[in-house]
Structure 1
Amino acid sequence: MPESADKIRLDKWLWQARFFKTRSLAAGVVRGGRVRVNGTRAVKPAQQVGPGDVMTFPQARQIRVVRLVCAGVRRGPASEAQTLYEDLTEIKDDVPPAPRYEGKGRPTKKDRRIIDLDRSRTLE
């Protein structure tokens, strides 16, 4: 069965586009059923994808939605990898940042005592 040159394995493309550090990590996400291609769940890493396909998958703590622009030839630098896809992910500005101590670095022992006293007062 002849394959067209513009089609590529799903796991290989995810790796070449630098969404995953290794190809086996990309294959594991696909095998786990966490990748959708054009709205259909992909369960085989060898599924062929081509230009125009829309993929939805988790990456870190966000859900990525990308449209494949072209199949890559190699895993190149990040600037080259960004030309392989068009990012359709919705940007969420309302997500609060991780809570941090207002000062610089870790709180001191004295600061922790004050924090603990404030917590015990709110419980009463």
Structure 2
Amino acid sequence: MKNQPNKEPQALNKVRADKWLWAARFFRTRTLAKEAIEGGKVHMNGQKIKTSKELQVGDTLTIRQGHASVQEQKTIIIKALSDNRGSATIAQTLYDETDESIATREFFAEQRKLQNLARPSTKPDKKQRRDIEKFKNNW
């Protein structure tokens, strides 16, 4: 009979940064977590860290995620340590996001939504394309 994985976060003193980021579900794989750390997208207490850096409860992490045009920055405080990846509900108990971080992310999300409102909802039809071409050629 196989060993059943523990469903609750373990009482650990220290955990490697890449393992914790993977267990807390910030990254899909440990390799992606490692690449983010090495790429300077994860900072601890304002300092760039290495993959093997051991995290402790109470540390503050700043994590940048997303594509270059739409990067989100999260500032979190570690509440519990785990090196096993569990469900999303368990992963959310491992950290607290700061109020400033939540407010900043919501502000930028609202700005992105407002930028998209200026775009037309449909493509121009044939007559509208002709009118656009006439307009462009007259300039």
**Does 1:109 find its partner at 2:125?**
yes
Q: Deviations over 1:39-83 (max 9, x none)?
A: 1111x2010001100000211121111111000142111111000
| Matches of 1:79 and 1:115, distance apart in 2 | 54
Q: What root-mean-square deviation, in Å, do the aligned CA atoms of Structure 1 and Structure 2 show? A: 2.9
Is 1:90 the counterpart of 2:102 in the alignment?
Answer: yes
Larger fraction in helix:
2
In structure 1, the partner of 2:74 is 64
How high is the sequence identity, in percent, across the aligned residues?
30
Residue in 1 that maps onto 2:116: 99
Q: In structure 1, which of residues 44, 49, 52 is the aligned counterpart of residue 58 of structure 2?
A: 52
Deviation of 1:32 (Å)? 1.6
Report the Cα offset of residue 90 of structure 1.
3.4
Alignment-derived partner of residue 10 in structure 1: 17
Gaps of 5+ in 2: 1-10
Give ranges in structure 1 of 5+ residues lacking alignment. Answer: none
**Displaced runs of 4+ in structure 1, greater than 4 A?**
none
TM-score between the two structures when normalised by the length of structure 2: 0.70
Q: Distance in 1 between matches of 2:21 and 2:135?
A: 46
| TM-score normalised according to structure 1 size | 0.77
Instruction: Report the count of equivalent residues.
Output: 117
Instruction: Give 2:3's aligned residue.
Output: none
Contact kept, 8 Å, 1:37 with 1:54, in 2: the verdict is yes
> RCO greater where, 1 or 2, for CA within 8 Å and sep 6 or more?
2
